[in-house]
Amino acid sequence: MMIDFATSNLSKIKPKLRTSGNISQPRRKAGSPLQELGITETKVIKCVDPDDYLNRMYVAFEKTEDPKLKQFIFTQIKKILSQRGLW
């Protein structure tokens, strides 16, 4: 059986280039790089009491001279006080 390409639809199919897609973007691995964040091997984890954390933030704010660190500490203090309704 001979196919007549002049009248068939096979001559109208455009071949796709095999290079489409993976050239411009590198291959990505599945999963998040932050997947292991928070996982620890320790047996006992002690969480800081919010009042103790607030006191530590006040002490750190007074001791530091770094403006970025002061800004971070200020936002942490503001967040805690606004959660308590004191801001």
pTM across the whole model: 0.50
pLDDT tens track for 13-42: 666 666 555 555 566 666 666 667 777 787
Sign of the dihedral through C-alpha 60, 61, 63, 65: positive
E strand spans, the chain: none
pLDDT tens track for 36-65: 777 778 788 788 898 999 999 999 999 999
Structural domain boundaries in the chain:
46-87
Of the candidates 60, 63, 83, which has an alpha carbon nearest to the alpha carbon of residue 72? 60
Vertex 79 angle, CA 78 and 80, to 5°: 95
